[in-house]
Amino acid sequence: MTKHTSITTLGQLIASGYQPKDIKDELRDNLLARLANNERTFEGIFGYENTVIPDLERAILSKHNINLLGLRGQAKTRMARMMVELLDEYVPVIEGSELNDDPLEPISSYAKMRIQVMGDDTPVAWLHRSERYIEKLATPDVSVADLIGDVDPIKAVNEKLNYNDERVIHFGIIPRANRCIFVINEMPDLQARIQVALFNILQEGDVQIRGFKFRLKLNLQFVFTANPEDYTNRGSIVTPLKDRIGSQILTHYPKTIELAKQITRQEASITPQQEKMIDVPELMRDLVEQVVMEARSNEYVDHKSGVSARLSITAMENLVSAAERRAVINKDKKTTLRIADLQGIIPSITGKIEMVYEGEQEGSFNVANILIGKAIRSLFEQHFPITAKRKEGQEDPFNKVVEWFESGQNIHLNFDDSDASYARQLNRVHGLAELVDSFVPDSGKMDKYTWMEFALFGLAEHSRLSRRFYEDKTAFTDLLGGYLG
């Protein structure tokens, strides 16, 4: 409901006709209204339109507590946070209540006593939906007292209360989240004995604290997130708890490069200054996403851990920053991303992939370069069909470039070359510009040199040229020269 600034007391609230509402009914009713108006419920979540989001909507309509199960970086927490938008804009609460007591259905002794003393004059405050989201990261040190509550001896002494008095209780984070969406992230990290403490809350909606014989009827929407890896490596969600969670929804990574690019465009933190200075060819966006795709299927990478979408986001940020640094060093007012700039994304890769034993032996830096090479190889075949069969007598379009290197020529592309020096080096290669024009006729003036460099890297990945990395440059020679070198 909307906030009624004129309503400040319990009597005024009763006179307005207000009726208490369960949080699950709030979510359900507001979702139905959005669906009826053809409004998107989870704006900015790409790739889940026909899979995860319909499942989540069905769970909300069923008034279920929800477990979002998926690998890292699959927008689980983000979707949970977006559920707040399905709550009523404001709800009334007893002013000063730590449990967000509904004025007509109070549950705490504080609220009940205040109403008993003040009656219709009991002050009412209004709680905005943005304040109705509570999130807790499950860690092994979380205790029952943290989540549910415990007896506070200091409070008992200071206020001279008997230990049988409910007022000695210090409520935990879950009771304080009454009438809120409560999210527990990485649920399997919570010790099994702590998970048991949630049984009653999920099934009956109430809690017991230190044997106090009272029924604290909580009004909560629970959302849990979990990584399937955790079920075997660090812990598990105990079976009776899983049984009490209404819907378990499986999340997934983007299934196409186009969807992945949409996510990266939305999430990558690129400054206006960088956008103005740096041209980003679509090829470079494709390469960043292809690196992530390669990582998710590579034999050196632990598939059970997953490869987060954060890899492509931070990789794009590093890629743009590499070009920005180069442009500033050379005093270039504008520049274009280069294939060599992909070396700048290696720190993003090495920190975000978990490797199997063979990968550890290979080393994270080498694995990162292998992934970049495989991404180039995969996309090169799409744009320059080097393995396609040709008609008899048809000339190999790559021969002219390869023969130039076989004549004893080579080029060195320094990572920090100015745009002018970079262009001069690429223009030296006979047939390279013509090769790009024939396969990518619409490359554009600014992007053409990136495509020319991409062609050299692709030929090297297909063993038509030799490529060697140095600390500050990449060298291209013919295969024999590379072998002798």
The pLDDT of residue 396 is: 84
Query: What percentage of the chain has pLDDT greater than the value 90?
Result: 66
Map the chain to HEC letters.
CCCCCCCCEHHHHHHCCCCCCCHHHHHHHHHHHHHHCCCCCCCCCCCCCCCHHHHHHHHHHCCCCEEEECCCCCCHHHHHHHHHHHCCCEEEEECCCCCCCECCECCCHHHHHHHHHHHHHCEEEEEEHHHCEEEEECCCCCCHHHHCEEECHHHHHHCCCCCCCHHHEEECHHHHCCCCEEEEECHHHCCHHHHHCCHHHHHCCCCCCCCCCCCCCCCCEEEEEECCCHHHHCCCCCHHHHHHCCEEEECCCCCCHHHHHHHHHHHCCCCHHHHHHEECCHHHHHHHHHHHHHHHHCCCECCCCCCCHHHHHHHHHHHHHHHHHHHHHHCCCCEECCHHHHHHHHHHHHCCCCECHHHHHHCHHHHHHHHHHHHHHHHHHHHCCCCCCCCCCCCCCCHHHHHHHHCCCCEEEECCCCHHHHHHHHHCCCCHHHHHHHHCCCCCHHHHHHHHHHHHHHHHHCCCCEEEECCCEEEEECHHHHHHC
Kind of pairing, strands 169-171 and 149-151? antiparallel
Residue 471 predicted with pLDDT over 90: no
The pLDDT of residue 153 is: 60
The pLDDT of residue 317 is: 96
Q: How confident is the model at residue 378 (pLDDT cuts 50, 70, 90)?
A: very high
Tell me the pTM.
0.85
Q: What is d(CA 220, CA 197) in angstroms, rounded to the nearest whole number?
A: 15
Which of these ranges, 41-45, 60-64, 199-203, has the smallest mean pLDDT? 199-203
44: left (phi over 0), alpha (psi -120 to 50) or beta: left
Residue 350 predicted with pLDDT over 80: yes
pLDDT digits (tens, 9 = 90+) for 401-454: 999 999 989 999 999 999 999 999 999 999 999 999 999 988 777 789 999 999
pLDDT digits (tens, 9 = 90+) for 314-338: 999 999 999 999 999 999 999 999 9
pLDDT digits (tens, 9 = 90+) for 140-196: 888 888 888 776 666 655 666 665 666 667 788 998 999 999 999 988 888 888 888
Q: CA geometry: angle at 301 spanning 297 and 307, to 5°? A: 75
The pLDDT of residue 221 is: 95
Higher per-residue confidence, 157 vs 241 = 241
Round the average pLDDT of the chain to a whole number and report it. 88
Residue 41 predicted with pLDDT over 70: yes
pLDDT digits (tens, 9 = 90+) for 185-239: 988 888 888 888 888 788 776 676 665 555 678 899 999 999 886 555 456 788 8
Residue 369 predicted with pLDDT over 70: yes
The pLDDT of residue 274 is: 95
The pLDDT of residue 200 is: 77
Domains, the chain, with CATH or none: 10-250 (3.40.50.300), 257-484 (1.10.8.80)
pLDDT digits (tens, 9 = 90+) for 96-142: 998 999 999 998 888 998 999 999 999 999 999 999 999 999 888 88
Query: What percentage of the chain has pLDDT greater than the value 70?
Result: 89
